[in-house]
Amino acid sequence: MNDTQANNRQIRILNYFLINPESSRRQIEKFFAGTNGSRITIIRDINYLIDNGWIVQIGGGKYVKYQLKPKSELLIPINIDEYFSKTTDLRSVRYPKFNFDLIDSLSGLFSREEINLFNEGKNKLKNKFRTLDKTLLKRELERFTIELSWKSSQIEGNTYSLLETEELIKNKKEAKGHNKDEAVMILNHKNAFDTILEKGDRFKNISILDIRSIHSELVKDLEIKSGIRESGVGITGTKYLPPDNKWQIEEALMKIVNQADKNNVTPEMALIYLGMIAYLQPFTDGNKRTSRMVSNAILLANGYYPLSYRSVNEVEYKKALILFYEQNNIYHLKRIFLEQQKFAIDNYFL
């Protein structure tokens, strides 16, 4: 689906259906009463959305209702500011618990043009690794590692600056006025990415053992228990609750890995892991940083640019994840993923 096909009013209708499934035209008209959408305009918009595969008609005669086309909820262009204008407790959460059926829907996430962006980057990176002076290549890899370790840690609440992170990684000097754990978190990121670089091809396809291994490296010496969690966990800013049963978590993780293995589009595999590890929350802590590192392992092992997330607004990133948790909508997480791929192509290994 091409999100540019829908105008702002039609996007609002799609957003309405996301939290009001199976609505009649009268209900839609009532909801939009007082806006710039007349009855005729609403009818025209509904027909347009049906013709373009966003929604479907169910029932007949005076009992006709409309709903989102199956799987379309995944990529609807939601107005994220409007969505989060409601507080956590007032938002209508479509999926308050883990949706196992979502896993089977994770395919066809990118358009041909979007895949071309990744492939252009892949060709550029292959050429740079072949022609770039080894000293410059080493320096660029070090710069990327520093920026990834800094930003990924910052998303988790780490207060080290970029320059303090550089001093820590390059000269092993901890910054004054910071908790020891902050330095450990950053160095763990550095070590995990070094492992990805060293083991390369191993991560072309990810196993559960790989996910657990990367997680263990990221939480080493941080008083975070490694291994699959055995109890429930809450997530700040959302009413969504991940599974609290170890066997369910292991079953879901296996299903995610199997689904990703079926997907022969590497960027989609990377996006699946970025979203689904965070969504499942298989560990007591360190899930989001593990999702970012696993996603990068897949990209790099298959010749694509990894993502540093350097230019990401951490609040925007967390909102995109919460939207995915609550509505199973990956639109904004995918947008950030694409933006960071373009950022990587434009800013690394020049």
What was the pLDDT predicted at 73? 85
Residues 15-28 have pLDDT tens digits of: 888 888 888 888 88
Domain-embedded: residue 118: yes
Same domain flag for 320 and 234: yes
CA-angle at 276, arms to 4 and 116, nearest 5°: 40
Same domain flag for 42 and 168: no
Same domain flag for 156 and 272: yes
Beta bridge partners of 97: 241
What DSSP state is assigned to residue 58?
E
- Are 241 and 96 in contact by the 8 Å Cβ rule? The answer is yes
| CATH value at residue 183 | 1.10.3290.10
Residues 193-210 have pLDDT tens digits of: 999 999 888 999 999 999
What was the pLDDT predicted at 33? 74
Rounded to the nearest 5°, which phi and psi values hold at 35?
-95, -170
Same domain flag for 36 and 135: no
Residues 240-267 have pLDDT tens digits of: 999 999 999 999 999 999 999 898 899 9
Residue with the two structure tokens 């929604």: 55
Same domain flag for 168 and 66: no
Instruction: Estimate the share of the chain in helix, then strand, then coil, as percent rounded to the nearest 5.
Output: 60, 5, 35
CA separation for the pair 74, 19 (Å, rounded): 13
From 77, 108, 128, the end of a domain falls on 77
User: Rg (Cα) of the chain, in Å, rounded?
Assistant: 22
The number of C-alpha atoms within 13 Å of 76 and in the hemisphere containing its C-beta is 31
Domain-embedded: residue 152: yes
From 77, 109, 143, the end of a domain falls on 77
Residue ranges of the chain with per-residue pLDDT less than 70: 1-5, 34-37
Strand, helix or coil for residue 221: coil
**Structural domain containing residue 262:** 100-347
Domain-embedded: residue 126: yes
120: which 2 tokens?
């252009």
Same domain flag for 42 and 190: no
Same domain flag for 120 and 37: no
Same domain flag for 125 and 240: yes
Strand, helix or coil for residue 53: coil
Same domain flag for 10 and 105: no
Residue by residue, DSSP assigns 253-299 as: HHHHHHHHHH---HHHHHHHHHHHHHHH--SSS-HHHHHHHHHHHHH
Domain-embedded: residue 214: yes
CA separation for the pair 283, 230 (Å, rounded): 9
Same domain flag for 46 and 169: no
- Are 309 and 317 in contact by the 8 Å Cβ rule? The answer is yes
Number of domains observed in the structure of the chain:
2
Percent of the chain at pLDDT above 70? 97
CA separation for the pair 138, 233 (Å, rounded): 40
CA separation for the pair 17, 66 (Å, rounded): 8
CA separation for the pair 321, 275 (Å, rounded): 7
Same domain flag for 274 and 191: yes
Domain-embedded: residue 91: no
- Biggest distance spanned by C-alpha atoms of the chain: 74
- Are 185 and 153 in contact by the 8 Å Cβ rule? The answer is yes
Helix axis angle for 331-347 and 314-327, nearest 10°, is 140
What was the pLDDT predicted at 200? 81
Same domain flag for 53 and 184: no
Q: What's CA 259's distance to the chain center, in Å?
A: 16
- Are 255 and 100 in contact by the 8 Å Cβ rule? The answer is yes
| CATH value at residue 65 | 1.10.10.10
CA-angle at 336, arms to 153 and 53, nearest 5°: 145
Domain-embedded: residue 87: no
CA separation for the pair 45, 60 (Å, rounded): 19
What was the pLDDT predicted at 34? 65
Residues 275-294 have pLDDT tens digits of: 999 999 999 999 999 999 99
Domain-embedded: residue 85: no
Amino acid at 281: Q
Domain-embedded: residue 337: yes
